[in-house]
């Protein structure tokens, strides 16, 4: 088996594990309903750092160079972006509807493909554009079908702005990751990024006056689960694959998360989504399928 085949198998395996892990995120959050989202984010990011610390100490590249020193600033920015993405996204749910926040945060594939085309001058097939639009349209439909118009919201405009900000920050995070991962091993990029994300989340929590010790046992376990699953396996797989695959494709693939979460909710909580939601999920899958079907054979895709 050639090295290219090994690389392809590794990327596919990582993405599969990552998507499954992403699907568990809403389930784990639901297990700790009385825990502040900001406190949960702190435990999630700090636990992720602690879990990866032994691997980083053992496997890190100890050689120093002027180029690596410059990269540290970009890595710090990437970590801050990841931390702020978590904070903005979860905070938006306090001010606006889940539907509105979910739709706005999933606009990142549209932003990503425009940035890659206009800034990096990367060309995409027509089917890729159609797939991205299909996937986003499915997300929009899913948000509408899940909307709860009878519930009052504190500040919908501010909440929507937070969700949109989370989407923009996520684009910056992925684009930095693509550039730095070309030059660094996975652990040499992921560990410091998660470290700066944790520092950012802790700093924001302290500034707004959150009591980080006020958390239940189930909240601690949920934070640990979020750290190992959605963060290390989920975001970790994206950071592994972004070295080989266009950020636009990865950004679109993440839209499969609501479908996986719904499947898990059905088996764990006997929750059956409404017909409109299932139609929306089918549209998302069709969009992702269109995008990846064409790009799988593209020389720029890396797989």
Say what the pLDDT of residue 151 is: 54
pLDDT for 18 beyond 50: yes
- Quick one: pLDDT band at residue 161, thresholds 50, 70, 90? confident
- Average pLDDT of the segment spanning 221-228: 94
Say what the pLDDT of residue 71 is: 85
Most trustworthy range by pLDDT among 25-34, 127-136, 181-190 = 181-190
pLDDT for 32 beyond 50: yes
Say what the pLDDT of residue 132 is: 81
CA distances in angstroms from 212 to 6, 37, 82, 217, 221, listed in the order given: 43, 11, 20, 13, 15
Per the prediction, the chain carries an average pLDDT of: 81
pLDDT in tens, 252-303: 877 777 677 777 777 776 666 677 777 877 787 787 777 766 544 444 444 4
Percent of the chain predicted with pLDDT > 90: 28
Say what the pLDDT of residue 65 is: 63
Say what the pLDDT of residue 123 is: 80
pLDDT in tens, 56-106: 999 887 776 666 767 889 999 999 999 999 899 878 877 776 666 666 777
More confident residue, 235 or 246: 235
Say what the pLDDT of residue 2 is: 45
CA pair distance 61, 43, nearest whole angstrom? 27
DSSP states of the chain: --HHHHHHHHHHHHHHHHHHHHHTHHHHHHT-TTS-HHHHHHHHHHHHHHHHHHHHHHH------HHHHHHHHHHHHHHHHHHHHHHHHHHHTTTS-HHHHHHHHTTHHHHHHHHHHHTS-----HHHHHHHHHHHHHHHHHHHHT--TTS--S-HHHHHHHHHHHHHHHHHHHHHHHHHHTTS-HHHHHHHHHHHHHHHHHHHHHHTT--TT---HHHHHHHHHHIIIIIIIIIHHHHHHTTTS-HHHHHHHGGGHHHHHHHHHHHHH-PPPPHHHHHHHHHHHHHHHHHHHHHTT-TTT--
């Amino acid at each position: 088996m050639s090295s290219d085949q090994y690389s392809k198998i590794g990327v596919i395996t990582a993405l599969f594990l990552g998507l499954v892990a992403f699907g568990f995120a809403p389930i784990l959050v639901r297990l700790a309903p009385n825990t502040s989202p900001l406190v949960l984010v702190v435990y999630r990011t700090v636990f992720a750092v602690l879990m990866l610390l032994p691997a980083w100490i053992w496997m890190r590249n100890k050689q120093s160079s002027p180029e690596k020193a410059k990269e540290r600033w970009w890595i710090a920015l990437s970590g801050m972006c990841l931390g702020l993405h978590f904070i903005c996204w979860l905070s938006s749910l306090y001010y606006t509807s889940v539907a509105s926040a979910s739709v706005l945060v999933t606009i990142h594939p549209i932003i990503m493909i425009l940035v890659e085309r206009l800034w990096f001058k990367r060309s995409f097939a027509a089917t890729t554009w159609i797939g991205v639009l299909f996937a986003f349209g499915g997300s929009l439909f899913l948000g509408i079908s899940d909307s709860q118009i009878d519930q009052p919201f504190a500040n919908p405009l501010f909440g929507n702005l937070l969700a949109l900000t989370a989407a923009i920050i996520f684009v910056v995070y992925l684009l930095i990751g693509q550039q730095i991962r070309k030059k660094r091993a996975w652990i040499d990029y992921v560990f410091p990024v998660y470290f700066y994300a944790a520092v950012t989340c802790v700093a924001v929590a302290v500034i707004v006056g959150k009591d980080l010790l006020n958390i239940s046992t189930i909240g601690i376990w949920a934070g640990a689960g979020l750290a190992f699953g959605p963060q290390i396996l989920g975001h970790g797989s994206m950071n592994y694959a972004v070295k080989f695959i266009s950020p636009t494709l990865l950004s679109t693939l993440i839209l499969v998360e609501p479908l996986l979460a719904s499947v898990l909710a059905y088996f764990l909580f006997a929750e059956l989504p409404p017909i409109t939601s299932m139609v929306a999920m089918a549209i998302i899958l069709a969009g992702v399928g269109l995008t990846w079907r064409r790009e799988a054979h593209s020389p720029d895709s890396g797989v």
